[in-house]
Structure 1
Amino acid sequence: MRMTVFGCGYLGATHAACMAELGHDVLGVDVDAEKVAMLARGEVPFYEPGLPEVLARSLESGRLHFTTDFDEAAAFADVHFLGVGTPQKRGEYAADLKYVFSVVDELAARLTGSHLLIGKSTVPVGTSVEIKKRIAATGTSADISVAWNPEFLREGFAVADTLRPDRIVLGLDPDGDPDAVVAKVEEVYAPILAAETPFLRTDLATAELVKVSANAFLATKISFINAMSEVCEAAGADVSTLADAIGYDQRIGRRFLNAGLGFGGGCLPKDIRAFMARAGELGASQALTFLREVDSINMRRRTAMVELATVACGGSLLGSNIAVLGAAFKPESDDVRDSPALNVAGQLQLKGAAVSVYDPKAMANSRKLFPTLDYTDSAREACHLADAVLVLTEWAEFLELKPADLEPVVRKKVIIDGRRCLDPAVWMNAGWEYHGLGGTPRVVAPSSHTR
């Protein structure tokens, strides 16, 4: 098939490359000429494992091209994916749909004949109805069907999530020709559906709700265990063991039940806020009031981390050297949008600490966002003369660190585990002062005397 993908950011670039990987002829479209030029050269503007290889193969095969020309895109195909960003509005909780509507307005005015517009962006429920109105307002003679096919990409696993998804959801417009739309989408995803991937067909509103509902549930689960973490800190209990114990309950499960610094990134924070805003517009604000506390618990973790570091440094950060290991909001990503790690680093600096940051992939993005922090080329360099070492993103490189790796360079043997990803016994038995966000486990060091 021939298809276009509008938006060449994280979602759009991944979708375009993976659709070409499936054998389709794909044209990626974006107004950012620099981004388009990079992708056309085979350069991915962000870090995503496996995507450079897929992009290279798709370009080499001749099945993937990129452009800034809407006229070219309108003439290229009759199936168009919409994958532009929906950021949070400045000063509001609501999602900003200006990029979505801009693409719709520009594209619809150029189309003739029959076309299918498939939304993939995470949008407030009701957006597809507004899109239909805007298409009609352009006065186009084209017959444009609208469907919604939400994305479920996890940063670090986006290629696998596109080519081997755990489900495909398709929202259909009853005013159109649902059977024809289903046939088109089945052709798009034929290799994936052949692997017996579940295919859920529903109405437009339900499809728009799927991704944001999933994000709200995930955010709630993360904030729940962090709320329990606060209780454990007050009671002297071990939140990691608590999570293990309740995670055995099949109704709950252990995944994403890890206490620590909380969630960030470009999806969960802004999506749950936009969800609350839209519920209020629909007159259902009370249904999602719990998400305010979910958001509040998550933000409190950052403050708690700063307070923990302050205590570990003797009650004041002024003049302390702090090593921050991790800047991306999660491992296997260079995304620093609403990153808890980088937020904490900035707060530490504001309180008078000299902060040295190291992240395996997110250094360039971090420098753009927090240019006043000190950035280093390795974990060891970041820890030079450190009074405390903070592990704030659980990269494998940091999990593999041993006390002996850092002892020669730190000033004080203090480590603060913001993700509860280290083995406390290893560090404490090596003579380090260990602090864990969510309470420090009781680990008895082996006695120097034998009995």
Structure 2
Amino acid sequence: MKVQRICCIGAGYVGGPTMAVIADRCPAIQVTVVDLNQARIDAWNDSDLTKLPVYEPGLDAVVARARGRNLQFSTAVEESIASADMVFISVNTPTKTKGLGAGQASDLRWVEACARQVATAATGHTVVVEKSTLPVRTAAAIKTILEAAQEEGSSRSFSVLSNPEFLAEGTAIGDLEAPDRVLIGGEETASIDALAEIYGHWVAPEKILRTNLWSSELSKLTANAFLAQRISSINSIAAFCEASGADVREVARAIGFDSRIGPKFLNAGPGFGGSCFQKDILNLVYLCRHFGLPEVADYWESVVTLNTWQQHRIARLVVQQLFGTVTGKRLAILGFAFKADTNDTREAPAIRIARDLLEEGAQLSIHDPKVVEAQISRDLQLEPASETDTLSGTGSWTPATSIEAAVRGADAVLVLTEWQDYRHLNWSDLAALMRRPAWVFDARAVVEPAAVQAAGLRLWRVGDGES
């Protein structure tokens, strides 16, 4: 089987960059990314590459090379499906907010809608590839829908593969161009070989792993669960370091030299965020309970519980250090994205920390180099304040166009995202803009302690027992 045309349903954080790299590396294959969101498609097609809906370092260059040659972005969903040999499903699978499994199970309505649309619009033999992160055995539901569309005597037929993404936002292009592994789960050798051949244009054969469908689906959930577990583990040790006088960075360095552990994902901080970690662990929790494994479910649920605790802990610590109240006090928030080098704020630690401080009556001034004001409003479910009444006791926030604007008049600065912009600030100049006594709360351990303290500012760093 030779794939000549690919359609990807979903032009978001996974679909857009993944298809851009495939088109870039496979110029003979026509790749079309479809989405019903006209504004999003318009942004992908904008001649100004700074307006792409997804910010990833290097993405603009990849899109520039492939777009208009063999990479298209369109709202013509059914036409693109009909002409495709292979259809990737790359739509959102958020946690359900109501009904059976609310708060843990994945909401698969968009995946099912895609499967039904493929069943209706496809022609000939179509390979359907799960790219969204899905619960184990979701492929069975997709296959059932597709098989119902195979009328007797019809030339239409389908096969289903699982090809989970293992991208880290901020390094997604590098992860796609030089992946640790590519995982393909399926039952039909010809379809697996066809997808493997696409990746084989730039990925070494030994890095293309083949499994059954269920192992592939579970591998994605397990990978994210293990990574999130490391973050919660080091954050639990960070809290203990603060209480005992140890330094979590020294502890992490020491245990990272153990070849069985390694140094990655041992940076203490405000907790994990992003579109996958919490959602996937809660999905795993739900499935474990569904299959009668409550002890396993409780174990993985504790990873999420500790992550939430860490964020509440940081907010409480700010209140405690600022004489027990932040009502009417101006606090500068540096960083709102869940990590550096992305504009994604989904489950960002800054959201929960900011909400806690707003509940305490704080006046927040929020700066982030890539997150726009409208996104912050949506995440906080609060419009920015036009005027600030510090005596009202009601929390409010305003966007800051610069770091200096955020810090001016502030009682404290909270560094919540590890942007490069925040690593080498002139703290003497910033301190002159603040109200004394003033604090710096470094939840990412990116500032230079000596520079902060030399400026006459008090410093708290996550996991630092010496402060």
- Give the deviation of 1:425 after TM superposition: 2.9
User: Hey, what does 1:445 align to over in structure 2?
Assistant: none
- Give the deviation of 1:197 after TM superposition: 5.5
Match among 19, 26, 37 for residue 42 of structure 2: 37
Equivalences for residues 256-335 of structure 1 within 5 A: 256-335=265-344
Q: Distance in 1 between matches of 2:145 and 2:441?
A: 52
Give a deviation string over 1:285-305, Cα, whole Å, max 9, x none.
Answer: 432321111111100111111
Q: Distance in 2 between matches of 1:440 and 1:429?
A: 19
Equivalences for residues 10-409 of structure 1 within 5 A: 10-22=13-25, 23=27, 24-42=29-47, 43-60=51-68, 62-91=69-98, 92=102, 93-140=104-151, 141=154, 142-173=156-187, 177-178=188-189, 180-193=190-203, 195=204, 198-364=207-373, 365-370=375-380, 371-372=383-384, 373-409=397-433
Q: For residue 215 of structure 1, what is the amino acid of its counterpart? A: N
Number of residue pairs the alignment of both structures matches:
436
Match among 6, 9, 13 for residue 9 of structure 2: 6
Q: For residue 372 of structure 2, what is the amino acid of its counterpart? A: M
The 3-state SS of whatever aligns with 2:356 is helix
Give a deviation string over 1:106-153, Cα, whole Å, max 9, x none.
Answer: 111222321111111110000111111111233454210111111111
The 3-state SS of whatever aligns with 1:289 is helix
Query: Which has the higher mean CA deviation after the structures are superposed, 359-368 or 98-107?
Result: 359-368
Q: Give the conservation status (yes or no) of the 8 Å contact 1:5–1:82.
A: yes
Q: For residue 161 of structure 1, what is the amino acid of its counterpart? A: D
Q: For residue 155 of structure 1, what is the amino acid of its counterpart? A: E
User: Hey, what does 1:448 align to over in structure 2?
Assistant: none
Q: For residue 202 of structure 1, what is the amino acid of its counterpart? A: T
Q: Distance in 1 between matches of 2:42 and 2:451?
A: 48
- Give the deviation of 1:203 after TM superposition: 0.3
The 3-state SS of whatever aligns with 2:219 is helix
The 3-state SS of whatever aligns with 1:145 is strand
- Give the deviation of 1:308 after TM superposition: 1.4
Q: Give the conservation status (yes or no) of the 8 Å contact 1:312–1:388.
A: no
Match among 391, 405, 414 for residue 439 of structure 2: 414
Q: Distance in 2 between matches of 1:70 and 1:423?
A: 51
What are structure 1's unaligned runs of at least 5 residues?
A: 443-451
Q: Distance in 2 between matches of 1:356 and 1:85?
A: 31
TM-score w.r.t. the length of structure 1 is 0.93
Match among 435, 438, 451 for residue 460 of structure 2: 435
Give a deviation string over 1:334-371, Cα, whole Å, max 9, x none.
Answer: 11111111321222122011110101101332133233
Q: Distance in 1 between matches of 2:372 and 2:124?
A: 47
What percent of counterpart residues are identical? 36
Give a deviation string over 1:47-106, Cα, whole Å, max 9, x none.
Answer: 22221222222123x211122223311332211111111111114210011111101101
- Give the deviation of 1:185 after TM superposition: 1.3
The CA RMSD measured in Å over matched residues stands at: 1.7
Q: Distance in 2 between matches of 1:212 and 1:148?
A: 13
Q: Distance in 2 between matches of 1:27 and 1:429?
A: 55
The 3-state SS of whatever aligns with 2:197 is helix
Q: Give the conservation status (yes or no) of the 8 Å contact 1:166–1:197.
A: no
- Give the deviation of 1:40 after TM superposition: 2.5
The 3-state SS of whatever aligns with 2:93 is coil
Q: Distance in 1 between matches of 2:398 and 2:274?
A: 22
Q: Distance in 1 between matches of 2:306 and 2:39?
A: 39
Q: Give the conservation status (yes or no) of the 8 Å contact 2:243–2:465.
A: no
Q: Distance in 2 between matches of 1:308 and 1:386?
A: 17
Q: For residue 111 of structure 2, what is the amino acid of its counterpart? A: V
- Give the deviation of 1:14 after TM superposition: 1.1
Q: Distance in 2 between matches of 1:304 and 1:183?
A: 50
Q: For residue 463 of structure 2, what is the amino acid of its counterpart? A: G
Q: Distance in 2 between matches of 1:54 and 1:286?
A: 46
Q: Give the conservation status (yes or no) of the 8 Å contact 1:109–1:139.
A: no
Query: Which has the higher mean CA deviation after the structures are superposed, 407-416 or 392-401?
Result: 407-416
Q: For residue 192 of structure 1, what is the amino acid of its counterpart? A: W
Q: Distance in 2 between matches of 1:7 and 1:209?
A: 22
Q: Give the conservation status (yes or no) of the 8 Å contact 2:147–2:158.
A: no
TM-score w.r.t. the length of structure 2 is 0.89
What are structure 2's unaligned runs of at least 5 residues?
A: 385-396
Q: Distance in 2 between matches of 1:430 and 1:264?
A: 32
Match among 442, 446, 449 for residue 424 of structure 1: 449
1:319–1:70 CA distance, 2 compared to 1 (3 A): closer
